[in-house]
């Protein structure tokens, strides 16, 4: 019930291309779906987050698509740049749950020239 | 935006000694903070949930006596690794829950690299 499954484990995208990372969850009580970006030796930084009352949220080159019926959400990075090379984690939490974030397993993204 | 400050960023200690890691919410009050451990190329593993003024809630398999958590104020939580051993070497990250009601979120510290020699 608390799992968040993330794919792919690693992803290589050419500069300027679109990077897509997918996550699926089981707990229908989840009401907050953030994506975090982590560089080596640093803590995760919030990239973008969505709540289930909308199906899409866009901030600059980053877009979250949310499918409540399928219990899936994805991160799209448009015009991917070498500086986007990092590990990305999806996560989910429930306001009425035990307050903790449930993380996906992470995706190591590499943007090549 | 919300900022969480974590110190130290790196620490090296001798086996058998204790080390304390601090996590501070700089511009908001955090009644709930979280401590994670991260192994290389892996996801974050929740160790415990820290609630201000009460005992921490530890995840299954985490030794309460080894990883002491104190959340004495609304802006400070500490993790003390007691009698550290080389296997405790890891990347430790704190997080704080911020926001009110259903408009909440989580902010992470920059992490602490602990090396036990």
pLDDT number for residue A3: 87
Nearest CA-CA partner of A101 in B43, B30, B71: B43
pLDDT band for B1, please (50, 70, 90 cuts): confident
Element (H, E) at B72: strand B67-73
pLDDT band at A2 (very low <50, low <70, confident <90, very high): low
* Chain B residues near residue A89 by CB distance under 8 angstroms: 43-44
Distance from the first to the final alpha carbon of chain B: 37
Range in A38-42, A106-110, B29-33, B97-101 with the lowest mean pLDDT: B97-101
Half-sphere exposure of B106 (CA within 13 A, CB side): 30
Local confidence band at A109 (pLDDT 50, 70, 90 cut-offs): very high
- Cβ–Cβ of B106/A105 closer than 8 Å? no
CB A38 within 8 A of CB A89: yes
Q: Give the pLDDT confidence score for residue B86 in this predicted structure.
A: 96
Chosen for mutation from A36, A93, A100, A106 (greatest number of chain B CBs closer than 10 Å) is A100
Secondary structure of residue A92 in the 3-state scheme: strand
3-class DSSP assignment, residue A17:
coil
Read off the pLDDT of residues A90-107 as tens digits, 9 standing for 90 and up.
999 988 766 789 999 999
- Residue whose structure tokens are 């500069």: A15
- Mean pLDDT rounded to a whole number for chain B: 94
| pLDDT greater than 80 at residue B101 | no
| A88 has pLDDT over 60 | yes
Region for residue B83 given its phi and psi (left: phi exceeds 0; alpha: psi -120 to 50; beta: otherwise): left
Distance CA(B104)–CA(B96), nearest Å, equals: 10
8 Å CB contact of A43 and B49: no
d(CA A44, CA A51): 19
Which residues of A fall within a CB distance of 8 Å from B91?
Answer: 41
Task: Decide if A30 touches B, using CB distance below 8 A.
Answer: no
Mean pLDDT to the nearest integer, B32-46: 94
Portion 13-72 of B in contact with A at CB < 8 A: 32, 34, 41-44, 46, 49
Q: Mind listing the pLDDT tens digit for each residue in B65-82?
A: 999 999 989 999 999 999
């Amino acid at each position: 019930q608390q799992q968040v499954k993330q794919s792919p484990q690693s992803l290589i995208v050419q500069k300027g291309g679109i990077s897509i990372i997918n996550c699926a969850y089981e707990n229908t009580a989840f009401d907050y779906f953030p994506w975090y970006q982590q560089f080596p030796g640093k803590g995760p930084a919030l990239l973008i987050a969505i709540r289930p009352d909308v199906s899409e949220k866009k901030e600059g080159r980053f877009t979250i698509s949310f499918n409540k019926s399928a219990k899936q959400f994805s991160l799209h990075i448009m015009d991917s740049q070498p500086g986007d090379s990092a590990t990305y984690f999806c996560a989910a939490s429930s306001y009425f749950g035990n307050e903790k974030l449930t993380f996906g397993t992470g995706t190591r993204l590499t943007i090549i020239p | 935006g919300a900022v969480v400050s974590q110190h130290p960023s790196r620490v090296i200690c001798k086996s058998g000694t204790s080390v304390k890691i601090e996590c501070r919410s700089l511009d908001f009050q955090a009644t709930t903070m979280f401590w994670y451990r991260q192994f290389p190329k892996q996801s974050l593993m929740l160790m415990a949930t820290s609630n201000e003024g009460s005992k921490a809630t530890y995840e299954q398999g985490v030794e309460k006596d080894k990883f002491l958590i104190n959340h004495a104020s609304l802006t400070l939580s500490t993790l003390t690794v007691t009698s550290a051993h080389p296997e405790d070497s890891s990347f430790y990250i704190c997080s704080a829950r911020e926001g009110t009601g259903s408009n909440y979120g989580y902010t992470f510290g920059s992490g602490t690299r602990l090396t036990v020699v």
